[in-house]
Structure 1
Amino acid sequence: MTRILLTGANGFVGSGVLRHAANRQDLQWVAAVRRSGKVVGCERTCLVESLSDSTNWGEALADVDVVIHAAARVHVMNEKVSDPLAEFRRTNVEGTLELARQSAQAGVRRFVFISSIKVNGEATPTGQPYHADDVPNPVDPYGVSKREAEDALRELARATGMEVVIIRPVLVYGPGVKANFLSMMRWLSAGIPLPLGSIHNCRSLVYIGNLADLILTCAEHPAAANQTFLGSDGEDLSTTQLLRRLGGALQKPARLLPLPSAFLRLAASMIGRRAVAQRLCGSLQVDISKNAQLLGWTPVFQVDDALRLTARHYLDVRSS
């Protein structure tokens, strides 16, 4: 029996891991959450009010073999603090490292850190994907904080012998997804015409079930120790392809107008939304061949099946 501490257990990624592992009788789960209340599927739930360099993890780490660290200060679109990097460092670097130090002292065998593709960078030329062992090139404060956390964890692993595994997912979607992906489903369901019918980019995405399966594999596979992996569905889509296939999953064919991406970029730049245009029109691809080579891991959900599951949940919630 393996006992796993999961931070951020009631977040989007954490809850996805628990759902995916629901039938695993060989795993026992300890949930670390910021709000009181029991987490379904966990042997015990520990309230951890903050992720900082002063957090006491003693109760949560008791008899734990593996830590999956999914809690973080996440990327913020409209940042309001005066020093974003300092805020990200406080949680994502100092808080993570303190948890890892206490984990090593408690005898934890392996520490799985959910990082971000933003450690690699923000965009790729089409057909030139990021690889897990590329030199990092983070751009924004969130990506910088995740890279600094990775570096600190690797140093701690060398000093203590605790195994560290780093996973950098691309954009994660699935039942209950929020933000831009949810907005796309709302637009498609409403039949709103979108000027995105002629976008020829390539973007990697990862379904929550695929990411959860990769996380569990990295928690257990001997060859994962002290390695870095990228997480995706293994099939890249243009924005136009994604909208058409998501529309099909929603049974609402996408109404897409074929405007050139150069026009969209110019228009977005004029209204101060250049970052939005980059996500819609630019490419960001990852190569996950290392996962298959070292772990024998390939995605368990195909993209169209994943989109159907995501759309079904959205439609069920909307009709309830």
Structure 2
Amino acid sequence: MSEIAVTGASGFIGRVLIGRLLAAGETPVAISRQPLEIAGARNVAITDYARTAELAAHLSEVEALIHLAGRAHQASHPGQDEALFEAANIDTALYAARACMAAGVKRFVFVSSIGVNGNHSAKPFLDTDEPAPTEPYAVSKWKAEQALGELLAGSPTELTIIRPPLVYGPGCPGNFRKLVRLAATSRWIPLGALDAPRSFIHVVNLADALITAARHPGLDRETFLVADARDITVGEVVRILAGSLHASRARVINVPVLLLKIAAFLLGRRALFDKLAAPLQVDASRFSRVTGWKPEITVEKGLRDTAKAFEK
């Protein structure tokens, strides 16, 4: 068995991951609820992950499954978040794991979130820290980690958990795309004074880490944190983005953080401000030490490529 399967293959991370596997001359199994036509991959459309027998039939020659399918930060109605996240991030993961057990897949790699550790860090997070998730998304990921551990305990299918911080790169969605759009469309960017160190990970670096997690021996029942080689501040991020956009006329200015905090409170954007202003650092050294993985893309190159892709 030599194939790697990827659920959520139609998503931002999934497509890059499939691309990295194809570039290495492999034939990945691209699994998605949406029909895919990725040349060179074995494309599998799964309308319902609860149909585990159907999914297992597609995994008979698979060595490892990297589970990306789930719900991230899509809009929902108040009060629905918890139920939606649990159905997408816990139930779907368990269905996929059961299919792996039935098919004899050697390893299940679960892509979790640094949010399981918490929203901010007084010192760099370690994978041995006590989990402290606060938002529904992160809580669902932590519950999924626990449920998978119970399901796969004693099973021939190994479990490896990867917790990445915010993922960026060309075509990225979510909050990072909002920063790129801000740098591309604004005349003034008032975020220059945001100097709290934060860890991010470029999508290519994450894809390579996931392939390493799927293949490296001795990672059963292990949880790892991954991140780019160095941390960066939001102020530095917007400066690099603005400087990389040919059409940008943005000027990054240093509005005092206290004033930004007050403005965010008045505008009802306190949660977003806290994500930008609070330190959140990740110590990924153990994963590098155990597996030999090192991030290929530097922060500077990753940000420049992200900005240039936005202009296309």
Change (3 A) 1:55 1:90: farther
Q: Are 1:13 and 2:10 counterparts? A: no
Change (3 A) 1:183 1:75: closer
User: Secondary structure, in 3 states, of the residue corresponding to 1:280?
Assistant: helix
Residue type of the partner of 1:311?
A: A
Partner of 2:208: 213
Partner of 1:97: 94
User: Which runs of 4 or more aligned residues in structure 1 lie more than 6 Å from their structure 2 counterparts after TM superposition?
Assistant: none
How far apart are the structure 2 equivalents of 1:228 and 1:113? 9
How far apart are the structure 1 equivalents of 2:185 and 2:78? 35
Partner of 2:256: 260
Task: Report if the CA contact (8 A) 1:9-1:39 is conserved.
Answer: no
How far apart are the structure 2 equivalents of 1:58 and 1:162? 13
Compute the TM-score of the two structures, normalised by the length of structure 1.
0.91
Q: Which moved more, 1:64-73 or 1:302-311?
A: 302-311
How far apart are the structure 2 equivalents of 1:52 and 1:203? 37
The Cα of 1:287 is off from its aligned counterpart by 0.5
The Cα of 1:195 is off from its aligned counterpart by 1.3
User: Secondary structure, in 3 states, of the residue corresponding to 1:263?
Assistant: helix
Total equivalences in the alignment? 311
Deviations 1:244-302 (A, max 9, x none): 12222224475122111111112211221111111221111111011121111121111
Partner of 1:33: 32
Partner of 2:55: 57
Deviations 1:137-156 (A, max 9, x none): 11111111111111111223
How far apart are the structure 2 equivalents of 1:257 and 1:313? 24
How far apart are the structure 1 equivalents of 2:304 and 2:192? 21
Partner of 2:238: 243
Change (3 A) 1:311 1:94: same
Compute the TM-score of the two structures, normalised by the length of structure 2.
0.93
1:109-188 alignment to 2 at 5 Å? 109-125=106-122, 128-188=123-183
How far apart are the structure 1 equivalents of 2:185 and 2:277? 22
User: Secondary structure, in 3 states, of the residue corresponding to 1:185?
Assistant: helix
Q: Are 1:302 and 2:301 counterparts? A: no
Structure 2: unaligned runs, 5 residues or longer? none
Deviations 1:197-231 (A, max 9, x none): 21121111110110011011111111333211112
Partner of 2:23: 23
Partner of 2:270: 274
How far apart are the structure 2 equivalents of 1:154 and 1:268? 40
Deviations 1:76-106 (A, max 9, x none): 3x43153321221112112211210221121
The Cα of 1:237 is off from its aligned counterpart by 1.0
The Cα of 1:117 is off from its aligned counterpart by 0.9
The Cα of 1:305 is off from its aligned counterpart by 1.4
How far apart are the structure 2 equivalents of 1:54 and 1:157? 15
Partner of 1:312: 308
Partner of 2:190: 195
Change (3 A) 1:75 1:163: same
Change (3 A) 1:278 1:40: farther
Root-mean-square deviation over aligned CA pairs: 1.9
Change (3 A) 1:46 1:135: same
How far apart are the structure 1 equivalents of 2:17 and 2:140? 24
How far apart are the structure 2 equivalents of 1:54 and 1:229? 27
Percent identity, please: 37
Change (3 A) 1:253 1:226: farther
The Cα of 1:124 is off from its aligned counterpart by 1.3
Change (3 A) 1:4 1:61: same
Partner of 2:229: 234
